[in-house]
Chain A
Amino acid sequence: MNSLERILAAVRFEPTDRTPFMPQLFGHAASMAGVGLDAYVRDGRLMAECQLRQQERLGNDAVFAFSDLGVETEALGSRLRYYERQYPEVVAYALAPADAAAILSLPDPARDGRMPAVLRALGLLRRALGDSVLVAGGVAGPMTLASQLYGAETVLYLTADDRPRFEAVLDFAVAVAIRYGAAQIGAGAHLVTVLEPMASPAVVPPDFFRELLVPRLRRLMAGLREAGALATWLNIAGPTAPILPHYAELGADIATFDYYVEPAEACGRLPRTCLAGNLKSLDFLAPSSADLAAQARRLIAAFADRGGFILTAGCEIPPEAGDSYIAALAEVAARG
């Protein structure tokens, strides 16, 4: 069983030879290779090389041509500031508070911003790995892209002050995600994870998620599937327990759950959806060295009878995380 087969088997609740291990290692691959993030996030060849080197060393079951949530908004006109040791940040948003999304046009993934670099990385990764290791892309979910276009504070006030304009930017964001996600699948991605941190119940109430985001995420998942994704993956961190039941209805095959949600609770809320989680991301930085390997063993045991589980953190593992922590996890996964 190779890595791709292992992950797809877990998605289908079929037996696996060991627990799939899919840590969300994005910029960490750059740190591990001694490459600055400012170069990594803009150079598709470098991104692919770093991911391949990391995968060779750790044996993780997936590689990612994804770095940060600024790609789409930059392609649409936002200005970013780049750093060597952290991800780029938006310094000027594409939309002013009074603007409507209608002033923007859908991006061309072959031409705009860093999208071509990501597509190049995906093509190189797929050529190198074929169907042996899962090659994943990533897009910002609609609420997250809306906040990257206006700024988080502006968009949250917009939800109350001008609902039609807010819904228009959400719809535009879905169209962007489908177009960019389809291009990623065309370039070589087996699947495209939908990163939607701004939809977390820590940010918006569960009713808001159900009413405004579920229909749009359903449309996005269907669009990615139609473009050829082997599976769909919804990636929301934080205390997601109240919204997990909606993941099945919106068509997510893989659901990330964070450390706030106990495995038993996640299983109860999503009995037939593959769960990916739920180690605490920042434990990978703690000098007090939380026993991640022991936590991983407990997680594997908790899902032993159920199946449908992928070992990872509930959010991205920070670029500056210690390699030894991740290697220890890989070893646990290899045994279980």
Chain B
Amino acid sequence: MSATGFQTMVAALLAGDHAAALAEARRLRAAGVSAERIVTDGLEVAMGRLDEKCTVEQFNLLEIMLVGRAVSVVVQDIYPEGMPPAQGRATFVIGTLEGDVHDLGKNIVKMVLIGKGYRVVDLGRDCPVEALAEAAERERAAAVLVSGLISPIVPQVRRVRAALQARGLAGVAVVAGGAALKQLAAADLNVDYVAETAFDGASYLEGLVTENAV
């Protein structure tokens, strides 16, 4: 099937119509299209278009969430057990640090990365720094992502790198994002990168993974 055969699914995903996207994904699967192609020619294309549209000025949570939900519904349908490691390009560990129960931003980053074909291990909210480091080691993660809406978690963010280094994971990148954290510089937070938006963070991680693969 040519890429144009995926137009209906891509349009449904971009409209945030999860029911239509799911129906179209199932139709394609019934027609013999592989799960891999649903991801590469459907989900990734939709996320790419959304990425182009979402400049800092035009990024808004509502549209991203609706597209992200549609992508997640399709992924869950074609991979009920989760995206297989062989299919996922790299693994990232993500969490909202202890004391911060806001996980909307984290969930959006997760949806964007899954939509781009990555494997994401989500430690949820209110997550201790040590749990992040432990998961990074266990999952052989390429990066640890921390999201923060409120300023009191800043001291914890600064401790993530040391927790990774204590486990011999100095090469694992640390990326921060969220309304509070993005107002500070990477050096202030002791992280490798501060993402302005979910797509900005994804773009940094794509560069990182590509660089490591070379």
A in complex with B:
yes
Q: Report which A residues bind B (CB closer than 8 A).
A: 81, 83, 85-87, 89, 91, 152-153, 156-157, 159-160, 201-205, 208, 238-239, 241-242, 259, 280-283, 285-288, 318-320
Contact of B184 among A157, A205, A286, A319 (CB under 8 A): A286
Give Cα A213–Cα B183 distance, bound, in whole angstroms.
Answer: 27
Sample of 7 more A-B contacts, CB < 8 Å, known A86-B99, A86-B150, A204-B61: A86-B152, A152-B102, A153-B107, A203-B62, A204-B60, A239-B56, A282-B180
Whether A91 and B151, one on each chain, are in contact in the complex, defined by CB atoms closer than 8 angstroms, is no
**How far, in whole Å, are A202 and B183 apart by their CA atoms in the complex?**
14
Checking A81, A85, A153 against B152 with a beta-carbon cut-off of 8 angstroms, the contacting residue is: A85
Q: Mark B154-195, 1 if CB is under 8 A from A, else 0.
A: 100000000000000000000000011001110110000000
Q: How far is the CA of A242 from the CA of B150 in the complex (A)?
A: 25
Closest B residue to A153 by beta carbon equals: B104
Known contacts A85-B152, A318-B151, A287 near B188 by CB under 8 Å = yes
Bound Cα distance from A203 to B154, whole angstroms: 22
Contact of A157 among B63, B65, B102 (CB under 8 A): B65
Complex CA–CA separation, A83 to B152 (angstroms): 11
Contact A282 B151 (CB under 8 A): yes
Bound-state CA distance A204–B63 (Å) is 8
CB-contacts of B56-74 with A (<8 A):
56-57, 59-63, 65-66, 69
- Supposing A153-B104, A239-B56, A280-B183 touch, asked if A159 and B62 sit within 8 A by C-beta, the answer is yes
Known: A153-B65, A160-B16. A202 touches B152 (CB 8 A): no
Other-chain contact of B69, A157, A242, A286 (Cβ < 8 Å): A157
Question: B183 to A156, Cβ gap below 8 A?
Answer: no
> From B17, which residue of chain A is reached at the shortest CB distance?
A160
Whether a CB of chain A sits under 8 angstroms from the CB of B101 is yes
Q: Establish whether residues B62 and A281, one from each chain, have CB atoms under 8 Å apart when the complex forms.
A: no
- Complex Cα distance, B62 from A152, in Å, reads 10
Q: Are B62 and A204 in contact (CB under 8 A)?
A: yes
Please state if A239 and B57 are interface contacts (CB–CB under 8 Å): yes
Contact assessment for B183 and A205 in the assembled complex, using a CB-CB cutoff below 8 Å? no
Residues of B within 8 A of A153 (CB): 65, 104, 107
Q: How far is the CA of A152 from the CA of B179 in the complex (A)?
A: 14
Q: Please determine whether B56 and A288 come into contact, CB atoms closer than 8 angstroms.
A: no
**Chain B residues positioned under 8 Å from A83 (CB to CB):** 99
Q: A89-B101, A153-B104 are in contact. Are A285 and B151 (CB under 8 A)?
A: yes
Q: Provide the residues of chain B in CB contact with A157, threshold 8 Å.
A: 65-66, 69
Residue of B nearest to A91 (CB): B101
